[in-house]
Structure 1
């Protein structure tokens, strides 16, 4: 009975966190379809419109590590409550912006809120999850995240059509406040009091030993290239390739994105099963190789059928990369450095997300579209191979053993 009650309490914390994640990500999804139109109304160029996305991601990149340090020092709840509040402030400010400069400033604030909440949520998940079910907990939260992102844009479009382009930002502001209140009342602190031996500040040498170790450098490279593939290949090159080579319009491209988006939701659970039963290494290597293969198929064969097949393979790779890398990072860092580890891991992904689209876009213009695809494929495959070799070289049993 005691074991049953413990599991029920664990499940309640997981479901409460997932609902908070759903609210936060649905809120961010609400502004997706209207943000470029809203920014364009200030009379700026397309490049400046793109900055509204860049500054949001840049804020996350800059603040992931500080968020992790805050979690290690002051606890997880400050991020789970403070993150949505910061997001709310940024969204309300964006809705009332009267020029592009103020809009960019408030988008940075909203990005800071995203960095705080998402870092805090991942650390919290690792805290509450039994070691043998960490991948499952992370996958469940990613499912909630994906559903929120999928549903948000539809709501945002309807709100904008009825009440104007600024209205979705105000809606998200309200959702952010509601999420903060919900987290404050339903999510207890999980940072346990430190023992006397843990009170001392971690030495720089201890942190360097982990951060510069082969396994962490390899998983950071894997994460960066996977996010580069999601943002630079799938979100940037794939639509341009479909338009330029296949002469597809928004309808056909959107259908492929819908199919692969739904597919991503259903790749999480096989990836979780494989992580728990086969170990992290096979899943991480598979995700990198599959993503690379998908990019090569898209670049090499210019027919509609193979374009769809390539996107399916690509999604199989990027989708299965969800739970395993974060669970692996949790094993590399001791509990008192868990926030720092997650912050560094998330920053590695955001580096790929920020640099991938412009770098691959530039390569497609200066060389060719297939060259950009193949370059991305080579990088993500190299990352997977490096991870495999690095963990083997370091005799890292964590990476390869099944979870019991």
Structure 2
């Protein structure tokens, strides 16, 4: 199936070959992520060891960012996607039949590597395949698909485990990756670049050429990722601190996630029509204020209100980090640039829980919330200063 070169509204035709396999594979991964620590414990790991096994997936995602750019440039986005999904299948089967914690840990780490490849290749593909006037909506929809998979995956995992046990969940996830790989084979081939470089593009050269972009817009995007991930850690901890039980905490978080999941297309439409700042900056202001004021929430109703507004701020920003990165990416060396972009923003994502942990170790939890709020507000100003708006064609 060849790419037809039509960059307009027909980007929605990519729904079956991009969004469907993404949703299917993310549902599979969403099903097994909560089960990894349980599997590690069943294999004899201590609680700290089980936590480390879980962390290896995120570590693998960071470690794999730059190699993913090299692989995508060498083999192309379509082959990279199919290859990464095949690696996932092997890793999930290994998890299902892991004889000990070491084997499980290795498989989990490699899934992080392949996850970096999948994320980069999808972003790079859509950057080329979709016209600039529809780019934000296409990438926001991709971000929304991630959220849907993350929500539905644990529900599917719970259903599978309750009937067939832990091992079956990994087998089902391997099946979803197989289905995703099969559908991805139908992905249209991208057109060849008009100007082919005379020699292979070097990763370090691309990173050096665009170091200023990573240090400016990339830092702002990393701050956005930091504030986003803080919600997952801070909200449950604050619920626990004010005395809410696990059921009430789950409902509060579900409310936030539900609002989050429904707004991705709205954010993409605003970005395409008015510019990237009109989503990235309000998103940071909304989340920053919520975190700064969270210490004043001492009831279920108050926490639920803050959770809902956090969901609003996070939901409208779905895909904005990918969109800003795609806007800044060069025609030559795009996969390498996006690899550096994903590494920069991934460091921000990893820093959120670490910052909360460090502050909570020496100060009240409220101080951590206020600090995250300050990062959000300062980050909003930083994004307004450094995010460049592309010249989007009039509709």
State TM-score, norm by structure 1.
0.89
- Count matched residues: 390
Unaligned segments of structure 2, at least 5 residues: none
Instruction: Assess if the C-alpha contact under 8 Å between 1:83 and 1:115 holds in 2.
Output: no
Q: Deviations over 1:302-338 (max 9, x none)?
A: 2332222222222222222222332222221212222
2:346 is equivalent to residue 347 of structure 1: no
CA distance in 1, matches of 2:6, 2:220: 38
Which of 235, 259, 273 is equivalent to 2:232?
Answer: 235
Instruction: Kindly provide the CA deviation profile for residues 265-320 of structure 1, in whole angstroms up to 9, marking residues without a partner as x.
Output: 22212211221121112211111111111111212332332222222222222222
Q: What residue is the counterpart of 1:31 in the other structure?
A: 32
Shift of 1:99: 1.6
Question: Which residue of structure 1 lines up, in the alignment, with residue 73 of structure 2?
Answer: 72
Residues 175, 349 of structure 1: alpha-carbon distance in 2 compared, 3 angstrom cutoff: same
Does residue 316 of structure 1 match 2:315?
no
SS at match of 1:141: helix
Segments ≥4 residues shifted beyond 6 Å: 3-6
1:130 aligns with 2:134: no
What is the aligned partner in structure 2 of residue 210 from structure 1?
210
- Cα distance in 2, alignment partners of residues 380 and 336 from structure 1: 33
138-147 vs 254-263, greater mean Cα deviation: 138-147
Paired residues of 1:90 and 1:108 also in contact (CA < 8 A): no
Contact 1:26 1:148 in 2 (8 A): yes
Preserved CA contact (<8 Å) 1:14 1:125: no
C-alpha distance in 1 between matches for 2:277 and 2:351: 26
What is the distance in 2 between the residues matched to 1:205 and 1:65? 13
Q: CA deviation at 1:371?
A: 0.9
The CA deviation string for residues 348-398 of structure 1, in whole angstroms up to 9 with x for no partner, is 23223333213312311221101111111212222221122234xxxx453
Alpha carbons of structure 1 residues 276 and 403: separation in structure 2 relative to 1, 3 Å: farther
Aligned to 2:217: 219
User: Which residue of the partner structure matches residue 93 of structure 2?
Assistant: 92
After TM superposition, the structure 1 = structure 2 runs for residues 219-298 of structure 1, keeping only pairs within 5 Å, are 219-231=217-229, 233-245=230-242, 247-298=243-294
Partner of 1:118: 119
Counterpart residue number, 2:43:
42
Alpha-carbon distance in 2 for matches of 1:61, 1:164: 31
Q: Aligned partners of 2:205 and 2:90: how far apart in 1?
A: 38
| 2:387 corresponds to 1:386 | no
Q: Aligned in 2, Cα 1:242/1:148: closer, same or farther, shift over 3 Å?
A: same
Kindly tell me: are residues 140 and 15 of structure 1, through their superposed partners in 2, closer, same or farther at Cα, counting changes over 3 Å? farther
1:147 aligns with 2:148: yes
| Cα deviation 1:95-120 (Å, max 9, x = unaligned) | 11122111111101111221111211
Distance across 2 between alignment mates of 1:303 and 1:13: 45
**Structure 1 unmatched ranges of 5 or more:** none
Q: Distance in 2 between matches of 1:85 and 1:265?
A: 28
Q: Which residue of 2 aligns with 1:180?
A: 181
Once the two structures are TM-superposed, the CA of residue 243 in structure 1 deviates from its matched residue by 1.0
Q: SS at the partner of 1:322?
A: coil
Is 1:192 the counterpart of 2:192? The answer is yes
